[in-house]
Structure 1
Amino acid sequence: MTTAASAPPLPPAPASPTTRLMNDPTVRGIAALLSVNAVGNGLFLTISTLWFTQGLGYSVARVGLALTVAGLCGILASLPAGRACDRWNARTVLTCLHLLQAAAVGLYAVADSFPVFLVLACLATAGSRANATARATLYAHVLPVGIRTRALALLRAVNNVGIGAGAALGSLLLAFDSDAAYRAAIGVSAAAFLLALIPLRRIPLTARPPAAKTDVAQTAAARHAAVPGRRAAQPLRDLPYLAVTALNGVVNTLYVVLEVALPLWLLTCTSAPRAMVGWLLVTNTALVVALQVRATRGITGPPQAARAFRRGGLLVAAACLAAACAAHRSPIVAGAVLLAAAVLLTLGEVSSQAGSWTLSYDLAPDHAHGAYQGVYQTGISASQAFGPGLLTTLVIPYGTAGWVALAALFAGAALALPPTARWAARRSAPLKSTG
């Protein structure tokens, strides 16, 4: 008879998908890189506007002009960065960009001449957008296809936690409201770019083969098989990919809605408490951390990614309609409506992003991820550069009608994406037969 004392031990519980991802050394290395970088970014975003206007003494108009010009420089930086990653490697390009950003951000502490401030803003913003392209290319090179989308979701959650931590640190420093505190924050932000080089150096340069071929891995391998004598990639001539990029850029304007349009709408056109501005951002950050990994479930290729993107875009459109309903309400009702709009916007964000990642990689040839990510990131940069001006001049002044028009724009882009993605997949099909 077997006694309780001699019973065999129970097998350990299987690790969750998130735990298995974090056990991957490459994912851990990228997560460490993003964590350090995100804390610095969150800190800088929290104190930068006050430092530019109060510490350096520039008017809001001059700061706006500098950031607008810098945004245009950011648009121009993505494609060259991607091509540089294809020519050399993403890790080397990222190393150079981190050094550039550390210098540009650090010099903000002493930018007491407007021309110098303008140059630093252009360098910092161009470096940031080029950094996004190089990171996206690095993911393509070092993350196996079978885990890439889930890994990117986890990394995005890690990034949001880091930004939240940096913003909290920035809020503490704001309490001192002194030049010394602002300069210290800028120094820490610059140092974060240098500290991030430590985990970056540990990330391998070449991709590892996935443990098992998934459907998406087989599709990508067939479509992008090496072709002797193949010409250099020309993403600017790939009309289907450009169309997907444009639609993604439209939906990516949701970040401008969250960071610019919703706060302005709350403050100028509703009776919701002013403190709700912070709570809307906190709600967004918390939900992204909680839901982004889950939003990638079931996305194994472009068809599923396109459907997730469509669902996300329609949710963002619904958020715009909800925001419009906050006007002419009591403070409590207006606050509740805006909170609901932020929740819808975040649900749309996590869903559309999960689809966007897969489309950006699976519709591009494996030998030219840098150039194609450069194009894709250019679309995102354009939405970030032009979005604030468009929303503040074409949406907020027109109230409900402006929000309805914006909702129609998001819904149209969301509904157009699936057939556009199918077109892009068909256009890439000839490469299958040459593999």
Structure 2
Amino acid sequence: NIDVNAAALGSFTLTGVSDPTDAGDLESPVVTAYDTYSNVKTNYTGTVTFTSDDASASLPANYAFVGGDSGAHTFTNELQMQTVGTFYVRVNDTVQTGITGQQLNIDVNHGPAAAIVYTTQPTGPYAPGADILVDLEIQDAYGNTVTTGDDATADITLNLQSGTGALGGTLTKSASGGTVSFTATEGVYVNFSGTGKVIRATKVDTTPTGTIARTVDSNSFTINTPPAPTGIVLKAPLSSPDNVDTPTVTVSGISSGNTINVYTNSGCSSSVVGSAVAGGTSVDVTASPALSEATYNFYAEQVDTYSNVSNCSGVSVTYVLDLTNPNPATSPTLASGWVQANNTSPLFSYTASGSGDLDHYEVALGTTSGATDEVGYTPNGTNLSYTFSPSGLTECSQVYWPTVIAIDTAGNTSSQATHSSGYRVDLTDPDPVT
């Protein structure tokens, strides 16, 4: 009866870990101590510690063997691998650290779907109707992509969880290998401007072969309003004041397809003066209905196809609408009632109209009072007299009537001032005395 005790500690074995195993499964590794002759070291009472190249693994705590272990201990449900891949689990004595044991090449698969996550969040701000590109992934409880099973190809549906407006585009798409991307092809967008937009993604319920529905909300993002127009100028007429009561302005710094509204106050809160749909980055807008006489400051806003309204333009253009005719010239006078041979026409003169916005006078000559059939209205500046040419006029019997009108800076025309009796032409010398 020779009793032989175990020799010095020589090695460990580590067994009992399922291969393959799923991330999150509880494993019960068995650690056995051996002496240098491969005998179970039943009297081992040292302490062991665990390591693994799965940095996320949940490992058993350090353990001090006791006599009752007889050199072997089972760590029931104390090991949990958490990362997809191929890994080892190793044990070593805490004092004689070079004495180890390990189970190699443990294949770890993903666990059941536990979450859906955004891998690319909406960022913004976006324009209304602009594509919102997002990527999502179906993951197990440890962040591993679920690449197999019904959940890996489950339908993912998007909806606008918070914020005004509606989500448009293709909103349901099947995952492939546990991932899904909503691209420009799907054209996901939000139609109304504002802050606090949140998109919820939902993985469909795939039970009993898969898992229940899972949802995730995106980060909050903003949909911008259209920018305010950056330019507005007169087009017809080109300058002010004028008497065109349906003026046209050109509005610029806008987007094609948007409706451009023109107003007469800086808040764009008055009645709309005129509207037009832009076909490019600028558009002509004509006032309709006709305006009343006044001084106007025109501002503009743009409204996109989703009814989002920009701020009022910070720029404006002033238009003075003058519909009042100037005072007429007065006291039309002729220096003579006749034009004689080889003489010029008698001087036609008049008294100033007295209107403060006078631009110029125009004179005319007709064969009846107030007519312009002989000489049409001819600009005469601000001069108060004019001499007509007698060439081509009929002698003696025909009376010629000079007329003058006043034109103001807006293009308004006064009533006529016509000489009361006119003049005649005698270009023939009398017979000589005999």
TM range (shorter): under 0.3
Instruction: Name which structure has the greater RCO, CA cutoff 8 Å, separation 6+.
Output: 1
Query: What TM-score do the two structures reach when normalised by structure 1?
Result: 0.16
Query: Of Structure 1 and Structure 2, which has the larger fraction of its residues in helix?
Result: 1
TM-score (norm 2): 0.16
Q: Which of these two proteins has the greater Rg computed from alpha carbons? A: 2
